[in-house]
Amino acid sequence: MTLNVSFAIGCMWESLAVVWLLGLAFTKRTARSQSMGPRLFHMSVALLGFLLLGSDWFSQGWLGSRFFPGSFPIQYAGLAITAAGCLFAIWARLTLGANWSGRATVKQDHELIVKGPYRLARHPIYTGLLLASLGTALAIGEWRCVLGLIIILLALLVKMSQEERLMMETFPQAYPQYRRRVKALIPGLI
C-alpha cells in the first residue's frame, strides 16, 4: 500500500476516534448497562479484530500474504470506502448525541433515535465501522485484514444483540415497530 493511502486511512480512523473521545464528555448518565462479562468479551474480540486490520504485528506468514494483487485503483477504492464508512459512523454518532455509549446501555431519559442515519439502519455506527473496515481491508489487501473484518463483524453482532434486548425492554411498543421498518445494518437487506 502506498504511503499516502496508508496515511490517509490512518487519519480517517484517528478522526473517528477523536469524535468518539470528544463525545464522551456530552453523554447522559447511564441508567442500565450490560454486565461486565459480556462487555469484556465484546471489547476483547473487537480489539483483536481491529489489531488484525490495522497493525503490522500480524503481517507474518499467511496472514501477511495478499488475497489479490494490489493496485493503485484498488487501494484508492479502499480509501474511498474507508472514508465513506468513517463519515457514516461519525454522522450516526453525532445524531445519537447524548444517548451514545461505548457499551450496551440505557441512558437516563433515553430517547429512541429514528432520524438521520437511523432511518436507514438501526445500528448505523456499526454499518459505518464495517464499511470502513471493509475499505481498509481492500486497501491493504492482506488476509489478516479479512480475518480482522470477520472478527469485527462477530464482535459487533454480539454487542448488537445486547443493545437490541435493552431497546426492546426500554421501548416495548416503539422498538418492535422500528425493527419492522428498519433493517439492522444494511438498508433493505439485513
Q: Are 89 and 57 in contact (CB under 8 A)?
A: no
In a domain, 28, yes or no: no
- What is the pLDDT, as a whole number, of residue 179? 95
| Domain coverage including residue 72 | 55-101+110-190
Predicted confidence (pLDDT) per residue in 105-133, tens digit: 899 999 999 999 999 999 999 999 999 99
In a domain, 29, yes or no: no
Tell whether the model's pLDDT for residue 184 goes beyond 80. Answer: yes
Mean pLDDT calculated for residue range 95-101: 93
| Identity of residue 178 | Y
Domain count across the chain: 1
Say what percent of the chain tops pLDDT 70: 99
Q: What is the mean pLDDT of the chain?
A: 92
In a domain, 172, yes or no: yes
Predicted confidence (pLDDT) per residue in 142-151, tens digit: 999 999 999 9
CATH number at residue 84: 1.20.120.1630
In a domain, 30, yes or no: no
In a domain, 138, yes or no: yes
In a domain, 150, yes or no: yes
